[in-house]
Structure 1
Amino acid sequence: MTRSFHEIESLFEPGRFNLTLATCRQADLERWMTGDDARHRREAGHFVRWALAQKIARDLSFPAERWNGPSQAMDDKARWDTARRLLHDDALKSEDRFAGLLLLLYAQWPAAISRLTVDHIEETDGAVRIRLGAVPVELPAPVADLALQQVAVRRSHAVLGRTESPWLFPGGQPGRPISAWAMGERLRKLGIRLAEARSTALFQLATELPAAVLARTLGIDITVAVKWQRAAAGDWGAYAAGVSRRHHDV
């Protein structure tokens, strides 16, 4: 564990990211994960999950198994099959369906989903938008219906419970959102492989949007968006070579 402590601590050194475990956010962690000088990712993942379990850090997600991105085949069919099930299967909890669609369609980590509040959803002129980054994203009708339903449920509970909790996905503790770990577990129970599904979504979105738009709408770091756009542009050889080099360094 010692090497992983040193590796993660490099995030918090002055002159790099200048963060503490309490202030480190998912975008900061992803920027480090995609950097060419990052080492010992597997050990770092163990450290992050340990820090979350000990409540030293909050609202971070680190996949249990590292997925190698577009150097492997994309299972976009499985992603869309799962998305269609979440859109139409009324036997599933609506909040789980909405959370799963945020991952499958908008590449949101459980940590980001868990921090959403009712104010992140807005309805104007008949359009429903969600603010995942700097620029709100308009939701298509089926997803918009689930979003509005979740907002209505949360506001109704707030009135009945006389609480001002703003969280879209509240946790077991009053006034606190669901933890990133608990959200991830709920999504896994839906049959979603978190890292693979998110990477597939990012790859598809990167083929359709410029990196700057991708970063501003999804709330991801611009360096992460640029790397995905380069991969989606067809630079398979360079990307695979980079992944191979990182494997040898781990």
Structure 2
Amino acid sequence: MRSLRAAVYLLNWLEGQNLTLASCRQSDLERWMTSDDVRLRQEAGHFVRWALAQKITRDLSFPAERWNGPSQAMDDEARWDTARRLLHDDTLKPEDRLAGLLLLLYAQWPAAISRLTVDHIEETDGAVRIRLGAVPVELPAPVADLALQQIEVRRSHAVLGRTDSPWLFPGGQPGRPISAWAMGERLRKLGLRLAEARSTALFQLATELPAAVLVRTLGIDITVAVKWQRAAAGDWGAYAAEVSRRR
């Protein structure tokens, strides 16, 4: 009964925002998850995951663990250890390494990663940038190499006539990207706990970057960005590039 009420609460909120479950995007869901009057958040997660399994929606991720916001414990060293493994472990698939780094370094949910196309990555004047929000972000060299490698793989497949899909991470169905659920499963197989990894990344990112910059560069909802901005403190410095120098 609680799960049914949770589904009704969420659907009513979506209707009030002129949204449906199919049109709802990750930023919309996160806005609801972080609102002060949200009710039965965990039970609503069961409903969202059921909707994903039924293919009612394809673009949402809802962590299995309770979303505790800025109060969640952070394990930054574990994140760096995992990032180093993804950067240097050639036994892992390059596309999985790239997707994992987008989560660990840039706080991207599986739903956002799965919707990236080859056009979201651009190489100009010797720099490689990725467009996660309105303003492209320059990638540090090791991550940039993986991004360019993935683009080359996609283009090689197109030349061979195997696919004309524009998606950076194509799915099993022709012309469709990998689903958010499938992307999440691939990341979990890398040993990543999605909510924990993203929370840690958001905390680190918010220690220096203003909320407005997080919104413009990473596509994070302003409500979520402000909450992390208020909680974070310290010096982020050259955070995104530093991973390439750590051994």
TM-score by length of structure 1 reads 0.90
Secondary structure of 1:161's counterpart equals: coil
Separation in structure 2 between the aligned mates of residue 72 and residue 109 of structure 1, nearest angstrom:
17
Residues 1:52 and 2:65 are matched in the alignment: no
Separation in structure 1 between the aligned mates of residue 72 and residue 198 of structure 2, nearest angstrom:
14
> Runs of 5+ in structure 1 lacking a partner?
235-250
- Compute the displacement of 1:162 (Å): 5.3
**1:200 aligns to what?**
200
The amino acid that maps onto 1:166 is: P
TM-score by length of structure 2 reads 0.91
Q: RMSD of the TM alignment (CA)?
A: 1.2
The amino acid that maps onto 1:73 is: A
Separation in structure 1 between the aligned mates of residue 58 and residue 174 of structure 2, nearest angstrom:
16
Secondary structure of 1:23's counterpart equals: coil
> Runs of 5+ in structure 2 lacking a partner?
235-247
The amino acid that maps onto 2:103 is: L
Alignment deviations for residues 45-80 of structure 1 (CA, whole Å, 9 cap, x no partner): 000001111111111000011142332431000000
- Compute the displacement of 1:5 (Å): 1.8
Secondary structure of 2:207's counterpart equals: helix
Aligned-residue sequence identity (percent) comes to 88
**1:121 aligns to what?**
121
Alignment deviations for residues 216-235 of structure 1 (CA, whole Å, 9 cap, x no partner): 1110111110111011149x
Secondary structure of 2:122's counterpart equals: strand
**1:103 aligns to what?**
103
**1:239 aligns to what?**
none
Secondary structure of 1:201's counterpart equals: helix
**1:136 aligns to what?**
136
Change (3 A) 1:43 1:192: same
Aligned residues: 232
The amino acid that maps onto 1:2 is: L
**2:6 aligns to what?**
4
The amino acid that maps onto 1:107 is: A
Separation in structure 2 between the aligned mates of residue 100 and residue 150 of structure 1, nearest angstrom:
13
Q: Contact 1:61–1:110 (CA<8 Å) still a contact in 2?
A: yes
Secondary structure of 2:143's counterpart equals: helix
Change (3 A) 1:6 1:213: same
The amino acid that maps onto 2:120 is: H
Q: Contact 1:211–1:225 (CA<8 Å) still a contact in 2?
A: yes
